[in-house]
Structure 1
């Protein structure tokens, strides 16, 4: 009986330890960084927001209008992203969800970008979109990053996994409109070309010439361009 009891106790402790590990991770960050300070009086807000007094909350805190309005696509990319995250809709704070409306002119592009904190699910309302995402670096160095693409039409849905580079291109003969939901109140966005060639200050050309295996004049040209933010 003592042996059985000992085995049962050991099993319970092992299971409990795994359960503890499963819930021991930190919550996902909702901002790029938060540098630690030892000054308790510093006005530092983790994840950028503080909660409103519940007694002061009103219905308007959970309401936003305007997503029925056409976005201005008169820019070099021919697209406009209208976000609805915690910065536009305070009631989203701590709820882990947000949305966007995306308008595309003819040949409009939502350029290759990533959301470091969210998976995105896209629904096409109007037009035809060519969309895709690229996988992270494969474990086998002999293999290449895999591209998944699809042509989407009104009513079609496509998912872009969290953190992976993805894009949408208007491949139709009319303007296009899509809505997307994202699994973060503040998903963040890193537009690849902007981040690499339009950072401030600029990345040392020696780094980029080696990374892209091109001549310095190519990098100089790219860094001299005006890189348009998608939202």
Structure 2
């Protein structure tokens, strides 16, 4: 379990970074726009309907539970606990969200993925992570770093990135993202686990693989059987 001081430092760093960064979401035109799902009783703003400001309360801006360790008993050995506009309705129009990521020892992996609507800033509070991202074409340059507790790393918006626990103990990191709903594209899932499946001939040619290997990859990915 993390010490309280470590958690406090993580949140202070993320809050400071978020206050200095420009949000990619449109700037709000009012103090807040607490999201509701009822289209009849609100005004459509930035993707969500707004709750009547007179009915807003503290619970609309609150989430509890990021102190709890995520369950990493899965094939990837990681667990992302996301706090975006779906968890805190008061985040609507504010251009920010948060995540806790837990990594199992000896290889826990947050696999290569991208956030189409957000830059991510990550701070490690426990363990040792090997992290990196790949620049866009034509260079496709891999930029990596080994992070220790207290270290911070930035993943630019839209670029493929990952985190990998190279230590022998659990690792924990917190991320701030510059969108109320950053989105996620997990590369392997998008390519080999799409629904419906991409034509194997397309993938075989794109990856220069035998079609039978593509078929095997599409059939074996864990999310197809979950």
Q: TM-score range by the shorter chain?
A: 0.7 to 0.9
Equivalent residue for 1:186, pick from 159, 172, 181: 181
Task: Tell me, in whole angstroms, the C-alpha distance in 1 between the residues paired with 2:121 and 2:91.
Answer: 18
1:126 corresponds to which residue?
126
1:205 paired with 2:200, answer yes
Alpha-carbon shift at residue 48 of structure 1 (Å): 4.0
SS at match of 2:191: helix
Does structure 2 retain, via aligned residues, the 8 Å contact 1:124–1:156? yes
Matches within 5 A, 1:1-231: 27=26, 48-106=47-105, 107-138=107-138, 144-228=139-223
Q: How many residue pairs get matched?
A: 186
Normalised TM-score (structure 2) = 0.78
Distance 1:88 1:225 in 2: 32
Query: Unaligned 5+ residue runs, structure 1?
Result: 1-25, 29-40, 139-143
Q: Under a length normalisation based on structure 1, what TM-score does the superposition of the two structures give? A: 0.77
> Deviation digits for residues 130-189 of structure 1, max 9, x if unmatched?
000000002xxxxx4100000000000000000000000000110000000000000000
Between Structure 1 and Structure 2, whose CA radius of gyration is higher? 1
Report the alpha carbon displacement of residue 226 of structure 1 after superposing the two structures with TM. Answer: 3.0
How far off is 1:27 after superposition? 4.6
Gaps of 5+ in 2: 1-24, 28-39
Deviation at 1:49, TM superposition (A): 1.4
How far is the alpha carbon of 1:206 from its aligned partner? Answer: 1.0
Query: Contact 1:113 / 1:165 at 8 angstroms: preserved in 2?
Result: yes
